[in-house]
Structure 1
Amino acid sequence: MTSLQSDLSAPELILLQDGFTLCWQQRLILRHSAEAPCLWIGAGEADIDMFRGNFSIKDRLNEKIALTTASVTQQGAGWDIFFTRGDAVNAMLTIRVDADGRLAIDVKNDSTSHNRIWLRLAAQPEDHIYGCGEQFSYFDLRGKPFPLWTSEQGVGRNKQTYVTWQADCKENAGGDYYWTFFPQPTFVSTQKYYCHVDNSCYMNFDFSAPDYHELAIWEDNATLRFECAETYIDLLEKLTGMLGRQPELPEWVYDGVTLGIQGGTEVCQQKLDTMRNGGVKVNGVWAQDWSGIRMTSFGKRVMWNWKWNSELYPDLKNRIRQWNREGVQFLSYINPYVASDRDLCEEAARHGYLAKDAAGQDYLVEFGEFYGGVVDLTNPEAYAWFKEVIKKNLIELGCNGWMADFGEYLPTDTRLYNGVSAEIMHNAWPALWAKCNYEALEESGKLGEILFFMRAGSTGSQKYSVMMWAGDQNVDWSLDDGLASVVPAALSLAMTGHGLHHSDIGGYTTLFGMQRSKELLLRWCDFSAFTPMMRTHEGNRPGDNWQFDSDAETIAHFARMTTVFTTLKPYIKQAVAQNARTGLPVMRPLFLHYEDDAHTYRLKYQYLFGRDLLVAPVYAEDCREWALYLPQDSWINAWTGEQHCGGGELTVEAPIGKPPVFYRADSDWAALFGSLRHI
């Protein structure tokens, strides 16, 4: 056994009789032997079909070959490791420390006939794994594979449920536990290191084996980066230092709820008046149909022509000014596609700004009874044009924010201006879309004043997407696609470096007989008061859903919970500022602050809101009591003032309007939290 490095801060490669081990800051990263190789290569052909953002992905795999022989050559402070199997099969790992002090492993498959790589990272059976973007069904990812491909999140997302079966039968839209808008090849291990893969191709991170993690990469090269830290908080600071951090939110976000309203200027005014007269703190009106509507069998859809529809919203510009004087913002909607039957698409086509098909014609995607052109954001002129659409049609109109929707629908047979395969660009597309919106704000001098929020994301979204939302949950109580799913989604995204997250109050997807109940809407409102942003959505079939103004009791509930939210404004602001400064997320897994408590690593449906508030949302129907876990600390029930020492499970009364919330007794914010009892 020969060690090729003695500096404990540098990578250490130990040569064994038939292989090697690679350690980084006392963590075993790679273990290779002829019997248990760490590197495999192969040849496959992707079979990817898309229907309305739902993907069927198969690999026509011709071979998968274990590279059993490894030879090491030292290169400065690092190494080149050549892997072979016979004479014709070979690949190479380059081990180095990059310019920022991170361990970097460059993997390159040198066989021209092979386009698949499998790399096995060493693991310990007791490891927990978090991240991989936004995961709705699992927070601890250990024990399962997670394919990483941005898509619709799926309806139901659990193959054992009737709703998922119905959605699959209708249009392959049921999804599975790993379907997500925001996948990312980044994970955090409880060995206190992160691993990030610099690539945007299809990957599958499989954490099923007890002693290794297998990363499958559908390309012939990739770079893995690792950093370690003494604490998870320090580790997230390092991760977000690499990926980027979100700026602070506009001040108005903390001043109440953003009401999702459709139907025109006067409908917005009437509903706004009703809610404010009922004592609801309203910070904005979000009218996603500002550009018009299109009715489909799915429900009410927005007209994808990103211009103010003055027939549906007469006098909107003056009304926005009026609302702004009253402290109410106006938010709209946009996505990176243009409806084929409208003039913006015609303009884009005329200038050659749309992505092409194999025949060189404009690629039109079917979005559900209408078609849209894909604005080719890899074309600098098309990118600049669409940025001007945002500046002129949204910012100059006076919009204070918007939903920057979609980003997942790039078909893999599209031909792009930059010449890169759409299969490689597919996962990169959401971050490119985020960058377009971000730069429109930055160049208009509106960063920090105007807010856009997104559902799709990937590597790079941390820097450019100023707020995420959880996408299209069902208007039901299901664990994988209802209210409960938003919590692991926020926590997994937090461990991937994006610390700002919220959801549609009440959910969105209304299909297969679903109807949003009053209780669900109220419970979701309770939860959202303890997130960085409160915003409602009518859902795709508003008439089937209980709405915020459906009765006086519901209005009074929103009045109460928006008062809770605005009371917490200074506390939430400092948590958001901390996220912008250090990357510490606003909604946090408990183990960030209670590392020595083994139970906290298994919690996925409760969280810390900032440092000092513990929140355990009620996500089941007809419950007036709720069980939760309090880590060892001195906790005070926010609604009763009762003190608990923590260190175990607790069942508390949880009436609607008083979700289980506890604060640390020695918090600097204890007086503020104590005031919640009087609301």
Structure 2
Amino acid sequence: MAMYRGNFAISDAPTGEIAPTAWQEIDGGIELLDAELSDGGRPVARLTFSGTGLEVRSLLPGHDRLHVRFHAEPGECVWGGGEQMSYLALNGRKFPIWTSEPGVGRDKSTELTRIMDAEGMAGGDYWNTNYPQPTFLTSRWLAIHLDASCYSVLDFTQDDSHLVEVWSNTARFEIFAADGPQDLVGQLSTRFGRQPELPDWAIGGAIVGLKSGASSFDRLEQFIAAGAAVSGLWCEDWAGIRETTFGRRLFWDWHSGARSAQRYPDLRAKIRQLEARDIRFLAYANPYIAVDGDLYDEARSGGHFCLNQTSDEVHLVDFGEFDCGVVDFTRPETRAWFAERVLGREMLDIGISGWMADFGEYLPTDLRLADGSDPMEAHNRWPVLWAEVNAMALASRGKTGDALFFMRAGFSGVQGFCPLLWAGDQSVDFTRHDGIGTVVTGALSAGLVGNAYSHSDCGGYTSLHGNVRTAELMQRWCELAAFAPVMRSHEGNRPDDNLQYDSTPELLACFAAWSRVHAHLAPYVRHLCQEASASGLPAQRPLFLHYPQEPALFTVQDQFLYGADLLVAPVIEEGARHRQVVLPGTGPWRHCWSGEDFAPGTHDIPAPIGQPPVFFRPDSAFAPLFEGIKGALAE
């Protein structure tokens, strides 16, 4: 294991692999043998069945890797794996399950990825994700979940089997079956936990992300004057900043002390003034504390940090030109301290209504945890513990379902704590594996395993090595963000080098127009929230979720159903002014901009900037609302 700033190089060289060739029945299951008993065979593994569960256990000392194959049929399609950014259908590829930075570029054939790999293992690949999960669904409407947090690999490279590689001597699988995909997704959402409905303020307009200190409030007024529907102001720099070669970073000291007061004077009063106008203030936190921060000594004296393996010194992690301690969430007292001292007193109690709960992927494997657990086992669980701490803070103030935090990191069980995902740090471009299109794939894949709500940094985030935003990218991202449950902009890691939505009158008007569309759809999004609460269906859905009888839809990942009645085909290719759109089912679909009805099938649809292909069902109860989208955009 080698980690550098959240990027991992992992290698393994196991020996002594045994492929069982015989079996014998025992009480509650079977034993696998390395040969027939008559030939001197011995039991090497035991399979135990309990309800819909299956446990596989090695019986040989020292054998601590399991390869478990599940039956597959020709043509069977597979989805899942958590939040996958490159591929919705997983067939033909392997997917290591290990939460990490997803990488920059994520495409080994590109120069940007090669540069980032050379600089610090940071280029990534198609399978790298902040939020992996060892759960997969198949088009036989089965789902299999590995109930373990160790490193594992989902391998779908064979036509006749689905292989799960587990870095443990024991593996427990849960098996789900249904008559169709909606019931299957509902079962998984029940298993992992459902999110509370999103608050009205979060779905009723755009959250404007600005990080220019006190001037952010003045800049917000320009958005409002331009006709934007604004529900929140998000200032991730609320606790101070530092400049690095990566760009403008935050100070990683989460409290409203001197740095915060210098950056945002009279913050409490400003928050109250915004709330009086029905605009919420949002901030930022992560589970690490900088060594030069004010909270560091308090956390160290309270025993709240992970320690080195061979000493009682705090284990420090390099986060890019500054070191931090890792807050040890395996310790109940520490979870309570961070929830109360940081998220409660420093944030919720001064009126902050939400925050980006960033990171969670960086837990090193060479430190010591308070509960004595193996960091290799704890690494994937870390985002879930981080989500739990944030949920504890909301519950302590009676803010569950009102205040809102959003995360990029995740693993099995995060669904029960985290109310909203965001898609992480996309590059500011249209590239296949790290650009705007990955936002759609990520939302659809995560939704299948129980995450009802997802959104993205409108405008993208990562700008490195001369890769900067274009006006076209920012316009297309607005078109996409308006059809997500939450619409939120971000200035990116290099705000001074990039266009912002208030850089030109044209971009400001664009953002304002699509924020009005987002606000206009709030009654429909409330309906989707109610559906998610009742049935576990995500807001943004793969087409096959409602049309499972059409196998051609199984691999469609560049368009989505927004609920059952609205179909969105965002433009995610640079320079495109039309695109192919698949309209499923049997009834007509009405084009949002022309009012023309289209029959099901594949159509080449005009898509000038400002008119992405959007269709709705004319017989929908929300058809009058959808008819008004065009007017909301033009107001």
Q: State TM-score, norm by structure 2.
A: 0.97
Q: Which amino acid aligns with 1:127?
A: E
Q: Deviations over 1:361-400 (max 9, x none)?
A: 2100000000000010001111111111210011011101
Q: Secondary structure at the match of 1:387?
A: helix
Alignment partner, residue 114 of structure 1: 63
Alignment partner, residue 148 of structure 1: 97
- Cα pair 2:141 2:178 within 8 Å, conserved: yes
Alignment partner, residue 368 of structure 1: 320
Q: Which amino acid aligns with 1:379?
A: R
Q: Secondary structure at the match of 1:439?
A: helix
Q: By how many angstroms is 1:63 displaced?
A: 2.7
Alignment partner, residue 200 of structure 1: 149
Which of 485, 490, 500 in structure 1 is aligned with 2:453?
500
Q: Secondary structure at the match of 1:311?
A: helix
Alignment partner, residue 390 of structure 2: 437
Q: Which amino acid aligns with 1:321?
A: R
Q: Deviations over 1:571-608 (max 9, x none)?
A: 01110221122110000000111111121112011100
Alignment partner, residue 308 of structure 2: 357
Aligned partners of 1:494, 1:676: CA distance in 2, in Å? 25
Q: Which amino acid aligns with 1:212?
A: S
Aligned partners of 1:263, 1:675: CA distance in 2, in Å? 35
Which of 598, 619, 622 in structure 2 is aligned with 1:644?
598
Alignment partner, residue 592 of structure 1: 545
Q: Secondary structure at the match of 1:63?
A: coil
Write the mapping of 1:226-305 to structure 2, written as runs, cut at 5 A.
Answer: 226-265=175-214, 267-305=215-253
Aligned partners of 2:65, 2:324: CA distance in 1, in Å? 33
Q: Deviations over 1:472-511 (max 9, x none)?
A: 0000110100001111111110111112100000110000
Q: By how many angstroms is 1:239 displaced?
A: 1.0
- Cα pair 1:636 1:664 within 8 Å, conserved: yes
Write the mapping of 1:312-327 to structure 2, written as runs, cut at 5 A.
Answer: 312-327=263-278
Q: By how many angstroms is 1:108 displaced?
A: 1.0
Alignment partner, residue 132 of structure 1: 81
Q: Secondary structure at the match of 1:671?
A: helix
Aligned partners of 1:545, 1:80: CA distance in 2, in Å? 61
1:328 to 2:279 alignment? yes
Q: By how many angstroms is 1:221 displaced?
A: 0.8
Q: Which amino acid aligns with 1:561?
A: W
Q: By how many angstroms is 1:60 displaced?
A: 2.2
Which of 272, 287, 290 in structure 2 is aligned with 1:339?
290
Aligned partners of 2:16, 2:96: CA distance in 1, in Å? 20
Q: By how many angstroms is 1:626 displaced?
A: 1.6
Q: Secondary structure at the match of 2:427?
A: coil
Which of 561, 564, 567 in structure 1 is aligned with 2:514?
561
Q: Deviations over 1:330-354 (max 9, x none)?
A: 0000000000111211111112111
Q: By how many angstroms is 1:182 displaced?
A: 0.2
- Superposition RMSD in Å: 1.1
- Cα pair 1:634 1:666 within 8 Å, conserved: no
Aligned partners of 1:532, 1:479: CA distance in 2, in Å? 24
Aligned partners of 1:83, 1:411: CA distance in 2, in Å? 37
Q: By how many angstroms is 1:90 displaced?
A: 1.1
Q: Deviations over 1:80-126 (max 9, x none)?
A: 434445666611010220xxxxx110111122211100001010121
Q: By how many angstroms is 1:677 displaced?
A: 2.6
Identity %: 43
Aligned partners of 2:608, 2:190: CA distance in 1, in Å? 41
- Cα pair 2:32 2:43 within 8 Å, conserved: no
- Cα pair 1:146 1:205 within 8 Å, conserved: yes
Aligned partners of 1:654, 1:484: CA distance in 2, in Å? 16
Q: Which amino acid aligns with 1:656?
A: I
Which of 63, 68, 80 in structure 1 is aligned with 2:16?
63
Aligned partners of 1:88, 1:297: CA distance in 2, in Å? 59
- Cα pair 1:243 1:497 within 8 Å, conserved: yes
Aligned partners of 2:177, 2:43: CA distance in 1, in Å? 33
1:163 to 2:81 alignment? no
Aligned partners of 1:251, 1:564: CA distance in 2, in Å? 15
Which of 576, 579, 582 in structure 2 is aligned with 1:626?
579
Aligned partners of 1:597, 1:337: CA distance in 2, in Å? 47
Q: By how many angstroms is 1:624 displaced?
A: 1.5
Q: By how many angstroms is 1:314 displaced?
A: 0.3
Q: Which amino acid aligns with 2:314?
A: D
Q: By how many angstroms is 1:658 displaced?
A: 1.4
Q: Which amino acid aligns with 2:230?
A: V
The 3 A distance-change label for structure 1 pair 494 and 83 is farther
Alignment partner, residue 381 of structure 1: 333
Q: By how many angstroms is 1:62 displaced?
A: 2.0
Greater strand fraction, Structure 1 or Structure 2:
1
1:123 to 2:123 alignment? no
Q: Deviations over 1:285-344 (max 9, x none)?
A: 110010100100000000110012101110000000000001111000000000011121
Aligned partners of 1:499, 1:209: CA distance in 2, in Å? 31
Alignment partner, residue 409 of structure 2: 456
Q: By how many angstroms is 1:255 displaced?
A: 1.9
- Cα pair 1:236 1:495 within 8 Å, conserved: yes
Q: Which runs of 5+ in 2 are unaligned?
A: none
- Cα pair 1:84 1:91 within 8 Å, conserved: no
Aligned partners of 2:27, 2:335: CA distance in 1, in Å? 44
**Greater Cα shift, 548-557 or 209-218:** 548-557
Aligned partners of 1:598, 1:227: CA distance in 2, in Å? 21
Q: By how many angstroms is 1:194 displaced?
A: 0.8
Q: By how many angstroms is 1:516 displaced?
A: 0.5
Which of 371, 375, 380 in structure 2 is aligned with 1:418?
371
Q: Secondary structure at the match of 2:12?
A: strand
Q: Which amino acid aligns with 1:177?
A: Y
Aligned partners of 2:208, 2:629: CA distance in 1, in Å? 23
Aligned partners of 1:151, 1:367: CA distance in 2, in Å? 13
Aligned partners of 1:380, 1:133: CA distance in 2, in Å? 27
Aligned partners of 1:225, 1:485: CA distance in 2, in Å? 29
1:96 to 2:64 alignment? no
Aligned partners of 1:599, 1:560: CA distance in 2, in Å? 35
Aligned partners of 2:96, 2:106: CA distance in 1, in Å? 14
Aligned partners of 2:325, 2:43: CA distance in 1, in Å? 43
Aligned partners of 2:283, 2:41: CA distance in 1, in Å? 60
Higher RCO (C-alpha 8 Å, min separation 6): 2
Alignment partner, residue 36 of structure 1: none
Q: How many residues align?
A: 622
Aligned partners of 2:535, 2:166: CA distance in 1, in Å? 31
